[in-house]
Chain A
Amino acid sequence: MSAPFRLATGGRIDRSKPLRFTFDGAAYTGFEGDTLASALIAGGVHLMGRSFKYHRPRGFLTAGPDEPNALVGVGASQDRYTPNLRAPVVELHDGLVAESQNRWPSLRFDAGAVNDLFSRFLPAGFYYKTFMWPKSFWKTVYEPKIRSMAGLGKAPTAPDADRYTQVYAHVDVLVVGAGPAGLAAALAAAESGRRVMLADEQPEVGGSLLHDVTATIEGRPAAAWVAETLAALEAKGVQVLTRTTAFGYYPHNMLGLLERVTDHYANPDPKLPRERLWQVRAGEVVLATGAIERPLVFPENDRPGILLADAARAYANRWAASVGKRVVIATACDSAYRTALDLKAHGIDVAVVADLRPMPIGPLVDAVRAAGIRVEAGTAVTGTRGRLRVRVAHLSRLDGRGGAHAPEPVACDALLMSGGWTPTVHLFSQSRGKLRFDEGLQAYVPSVSVEKERSAGGCNGVFDLAAVLADGYAAGESAARATRVRAPASRAFPVDGTHPVTGGHLGAVPHSRNPSAVKAFVDFQNDVTAKDLKLATREGLRSIEHVKRYTTTGMATDQGKTSNMNALGIVSEAIKAPIPQIGLTTFRAPYTPVTFGSFAGASRGDLFDPVRKTPSHSFAVEKGAPFENVGQWKRAWWYPRPGEDQHAAVRREVKAMRSSVGMFDASTLGKIEVVGPDAAAFMEMLYTNAWAKLGVGRCRYGVMLREDGFVMDDGVIGRLAADRFHVTTTTGGAPRVLNHMEDYLQTEFPHLAVWLTSITEQWAVTAVQGPKARDVIAALVEGVDLSDAALPHMSVVECRVCGVPARLFRVSFTGELGYEINVPADHGAAVWQAVYEAGQAYGITPYGTEAMHVARAEKGYIIVGQETDGTAGPDDVGLGWAIGKAKPDFVGKRALARPAMGAADRKQLVGLLTEDPATVLEEGAQIVADPVFEVPARMIGHVTSAYESPTLDRSIALAMVKGGRARMGETIYIPMPDRVIAAKVVAPVFYDQEGARLNG
């Protein structure tokens, strides 16, 4: 398609490189250097989308990231689709596919536009007022309907095909923004020889200088000065990041920067990430973020073809795209006169400049008049016409009493407006810096810094180019000096071809039309009008924070970049209070929207979280074992034989282990080595048991309490030497237990000479359990008498197994004769294999965590976190015997003395046998005393573990039941959705109550 609005000459586009793209299925051509917005404008397209609430046709408002209207979805496929991109910052590439949003069935005819006709029924606070009743409708009817009607872009349906990386960087000086102020600041900072980073969101540095075709700096055209300055900065080693938005300012000078690495390529290099998230820690920061032009709030100011004046200038000068053939300019600020001059120079008809000010004066005004352009002072736009594009502007002379005279219709195809400039103080404000309202500028400007930063140029309320450059250089110099390096002197930049800019307007433009019948938009993205804001004040809202939430002004994705100050002006006038008294809403990160992908970074797929595998993991893989996730660990769940399901495999594993011998990978158990002269004294404090008299080479089952007296962890602990304990913890509890120990050691017992070291990963652990366990390991163990007398149950010996150093424990979590062979982890796989081979003669059976759980439940051994839930004391779970009654103190002892801890009706650990032995209870099921009950029933406990016991050949369960130990023999009931199950309360040890099997 042709580009009727492409100017014949000029612009920073490369006309030798045409690019094809589509918008809503129609084909267009642009050039390298174009944005989606500039290419569409050159193609005569202004209708870009439908507004959020009223579905009004909308076009471009701006030429930058402040764009509220022209939001598009970009991407040829769902896996590379991004919604809600602002067309003025989407760089064109060949083959780009874009579509408009929030319209149905089409952009030109949108059914949702009926909202515009019924707008009097959709006032501010409409949702709060209307959808309150009936309450149950909110979730089922209102919210889903509103969500489908509102919302802008659609989230892509396919997983993101792109990669995103994140990287930390440290610099001495970070300069944010590479317009004139930022470039000058970087020049000054670079003189210091320190590490300087300069970041700018645009594809090239230069900022406003990129569309300034008249200014010269140091005798050179602005664009040439930019190029030379960039070369100078790079020669000095400044890291220049383009396409990089500083979106967040966090404490201690940490800034978040998003670099768009490949979006501008038609065929991106797959090695490159789509985006790179920089987390920059800066010694000093210079904010040179510029300023944002404000719209004028006049009736029907939102039609396609109505743009900000400086945006139109940028489209013409930088992208050689004309916003129209005949334009009307409405302004309250001198800067729009630059637009008038530049557009006229491009041969565009400027019908009239209507200035709100009664007597605009100055060199720019004179120049416009001298160019033969009609200037009307004290004149406002009071209305516009044109359905899908503006075609008439109504100009009315203001009557000086808050109204306007009869309008003069002026035909135009573009209406440009300027209400003055708002310093971009977002990052400064995010850094918790304090703003002050400058009466002269009628703007908030940075006042008191909190972080090590300073603002320069437009964001500092400095607008004259020479002053901007000097301000930037001074800021860069001050930043470099603050890093304690000798800094250069200040520098003046002789500037020509530019004029100072004054003027501006906050609030709504006066008119004499029926205020209830017109819409003068303040927040274009959220469809908030001047009328809405006035309604909010009439309904009693005074604080700008309340007005904001009630009307949603400034709450869209553009965060009110173009609207906040006008909203303040309107509220100020409505409640007759000066702007500083009304305050300002909070600026929050991100400055512009940031992709989820960049926040996720590498944390997806295999890298989402570390997966911890034991040394014998591959054995389990070869045997086809499914794995259970325990924390980050993968644990073999069971080892199926061909044709076996879980049930059959677990049953076989338990039976084999009890009848002959089984082997189990216990490597994941947490292990802590507690070493030092005061090791025993420390253990006395951290565990309920007595340790001082535990002999070297002996083990004890230890119970750890929190200071509230509830069970925190448990495990077998071996004493290797007078000053050395090998502590085991639950798999999931290892980090928590070490932290708990370290916490007490450092804060409560720093006088104890003892140190804690995690050895979980040092040792691979093969548990060998069953009556034949001793026979299996006998040939592998060197120089150790394995007899009951020499190495009884609950003992440990350091020795060699399979020729490598080992810690051999005689322990059991199954109730059978058992050993746990600890070897250095690199040897773990080989020792596991050796045990497996040595056990073949006895039919050794590897068993997984499920069989382990079943076997321990048959013995009534608790699992912390399964039987306990953080409210179980040691006596509640039958561990009263593990409390050292004679000990003067231990963590939790005082809490155990509370009478409630000994109350008879506490939940206590019991066993349950269902009346029907084939019925396996559900873990977590609630228990009641009476099978006939009314809902809500009085619950007396819950099932904590339930299995089919292969050993007993019937179902078993463990439960926590109120006063459980006094209920032995009673029948209790477990209500399920379809029936009530009866079970008998029994002792929690189902098998080998006397413990004879521990000795084989």
Chain B
Amino acid sequence: MKSDNMVEAVNVYRELSSNGRRLPILRGISFTVSSGEWVALTGPSGSGKSTLLGILAGIDKPTSGSIRVGGYEISAQSENNLARFRNQMIGIVFQSFNLIPTMTALENVEAPMYIHPNKRSAQSQAVDMLRQVGMSDRLHHLPHQLSGGEQQRVAIARALVTRPQLLLADEPTGNLDSTNSKQVMQVIQEMSRRMNLTVIMVTHDSSVASYADHCLHIMDGRLAEQEPEKPPRLPVSQVIA
């Protein structure tokens, strides 16, 4: 259900300095994403997709321009405010899963809760979230004991345990085979539906991009728009293996 804008980017520039030269990565990108919408960011390698995702996640800052997420201007916030923003308002899923290797699945999912205002129910919420992504029988496994698809599901649970408003996914199926890719996408789809999430997902894969409501195509740091081919939506019972 579409409502007010979740993300508003206005004239976002991002430049890097390298050996005294200024390298433009993003060149005046402007777009909006409505609440509950699923947007795919596509484009060739080096086009600036990951950089844009990083800015949206608050782990990078634009050189100029404005970014508002959930009405919150993040382009000029302090480090601590951005940290709080990352914890409470967004969740991030990476291509390489990026689970903490010395912590179990449950511990990984609990981790963001211990600095969240709802920390009291950290463990129960973590257990519940793992159940929702179909990992309730792997709570105490370490990441190296899980398959790629299982690790990504844990990463999704970790990203969503704090009930964020925005889910950012960077090539979530990039390291998975087609079967696991499909499963992971269906998990994201189902969870976004349940939680009324706004999703912004970077992908090269057109079949993954087809899950999105629409695409933002980035080329040489600039934006073009195109509509994806939509996949069929499956019932929950077939999503959670």
Bind each other: no
